[in-house]
Amino acid sequence: MKKLISLIVLSLLITFSGTQSTEAAPISSIKTEAFKYLGTPYKYGGNSTSGFDCSAFVQQVFKDIGISLPRDTGSQYQQGKAVSKSNLELGDLVFFNTTGKGVSHVGIYIGDNKMVHSASSKGVSVVSIYDPYYWGSKYIGAKRIAEEAATEVKAASTEVNATRGEVAMVLANKLNLSSSKTTSNFNDVQSNSAYFEAIQAVSEAGIFTGDNNGNFNPSNHLTRAELAKVLVNAFDIKAGSGSYSFTDVSASYWAAPYIQVLAQHNITRGMGDGTFGISDQLTKSQLNMFIERIK
């Protein structure tokens, strides 16, 4: 049975990875969006057009293109993929140490060795990251954010959705879970089902539960919100730093804490339009992508 499960999981993973692809990050308009705020004054702790600090400005511009970022510079530095100074692209976040105590300033790279940022002296303005008088010597690194958001949006475009049985199979294999029970915990899962042992295992581990009628519903699809809870529980992911907002996730929404945890660990960046996609059915490529991002 274990060998059969491994073969099925391998087949599922090949199918999932085969449907996942990447495309150019949705940042072609980021310079235009950022330039809308040119001249806005700097305000310590400010997060509106009456005055931005550096991280609030960056957060606002990315929000304008549908990507959620945490509020403070330190948390923003924990996001995305590190890129070298020689490989910077439009939309990369560039970070600086202006206090001698680590990351303290952030801007958005716009090409030609320049960034747009909210500076305490000039407000939202453009400057060279190689500025010999100040910024050049303060540079400490860069992160690419939009590429991961684009991957998640692209993964959503596939029409192949993951069933509860398939998710149970993948998680049981990933977590090396097994069950020795020969009788089913659920009315609709027979012992000769290919998903039988996996469903038993994830049920016993407390990762999945059935409905009020005692059914597991292995052929039903999961929503992205439901998966958020499943992943946090399955991998015991603890709350991280930073606060994220998605337009379709209210503070009182039942899955809000789980979605927040995934965002804090850079496992999700949302759908590229400011939403998480709480009611969207989970696609197979999204499942594979989320699991790959869990460290």
Map residue 168 onto helix, strand or coil: helix
Task: Using pLDDT thresholds of 50, 70 and 90, give the confidence band for residue 155.
Answer: low
Which of these three, 84, 114, 146, is where a domain ends? 146
Strand partners, 248: none
16 shares its domain with 35: no
Active site residues: 54, 105, 117
Task: Give the residue among 273, 275, 179, 268 at the shortest CA–CA distance from 231.
Answer: 268
Residue type at position 187: N
How high is the pLDDT of residue 12? 47
75 shares its domain with 137: yes
User: Is residue 223 in a domain?
Assistant: yes
- Across the range 144-168, mean pLDDT stands at 71
Q: Distance (Å, rounded) from C-alpha 223 to C-alpha 71?
A: 27
User: Is residue 151 in a domain?
Assistant: no
User: Is residue 179 in a domain?
Assistant: yes
User: Is residue 25 in a domain?
Assistant: no
User: Is residue 105 in a domain?
Assistant: yes
263 shares its domain with 235: yes
7 shares its domain with 34: no
- Sign of the C-alpha dihedral, residues 7, 9, 15, 20? negative
The residue that leads in pLDDT, 194 or 11, is 194
Which of these three, 122, 146, 170, is where a domain ends? 146
Map residue 73 onto helix, strand or coil: helix
Map residue 31 onto helix, strand or coil: helix
Per-residue pLDDT for 167 more than 80? yes
The residue that leads in pLDDT, 161 or 95, is 95
How high is the pLDDT of residue 278? 96
User: Is residue 54 in a domain?
Assistant: yes
194 shares its domain with 130: no
Question: In which order are the strands placed within the sheet that holds 114-119?
Answer: 81-83, 139-144, 93-96, 105-111, 114-119, 123-128
Residue 252 burial (CB count, 10 A): 6
The residue that leads in pLDDT, 14 or 239, is 239
Percentage of the chain beyond pLDDT 90 is 63
Q: Distance (Å, rounded) from C-alpha 66 to C-alpha 272?
A: 5
171 shares its domain with 287: yes
User: Is residue 212 in a domain?
Assistant: yes
Q: Distance (Å, rounded) from C-alpha 294 to C-alpha 286?
A: 13
167 shares its domain with 255: yes
Average pLDDT for the chain: 86
170 shares its domain with 77: no
Q: Range with the lowest mean pLDDT among 116-125, 127-136, 183-192, 267-276?
A: 267-276
275 shares its domain with 129: no
Q: Tell me if 160 sits within 8 A of 284, measured CB to CB.
A: yes
- Across the range 85-93, mean pLDDT stands at 94
| Chain segment 168-207, per-residue pLDDT in tens | 999 999 999 998 888 999 999 998 898 999 999 999 999 9
C-alpha distance from residue 161 to each of 88, 164, 167, 218, 227 (Å): 35, 10, 10, 13, 12
Per-residue pLDDT for 139 more than 70? yes
Give me the CATH number covering residue 48: 3.90.1720.10
The residue that leads in pLDDT, 8 or 62, is 62
79 shares its domain with 205: no
Percentage of the chain beyond pLDDT 70 is 85
Residue 116's domain comprises 30-146
How high is the pLDDT of residue 159? 55
190 shares its domain with 141: no
253 shares its domain with 282: yes
Q: Distance (Å, rounded) from C-alpha 3 to C-alpha 5?
A: 5
Per-residue pLDDT for 122 more than 60? yes
Task: Using pLDDT thresholds of 50, 70 and 90, give the confidence band for residue 103.
Answer: very high
How high is the pLDDT of residue 289? 87
Per-residue pLDDT for 27 more than 90? no
Q: For the chain, how many structural domains are there in total?
A: 2
Task: Using pLDDT thresholds of 50, 70 and 90, give the confidence band for residue 151.
Answer: low
The residue that leads in pLDDT, 284 or 160, is 284
Q: Range with the lowest mean pLDDT among 5-14, 88-97, 123-132, 198-207?
A: 5-14
Which of these three, 104, 126, 146, is where a domain ends? 146
CA 181, distance to chain mean position in Å, is: 36
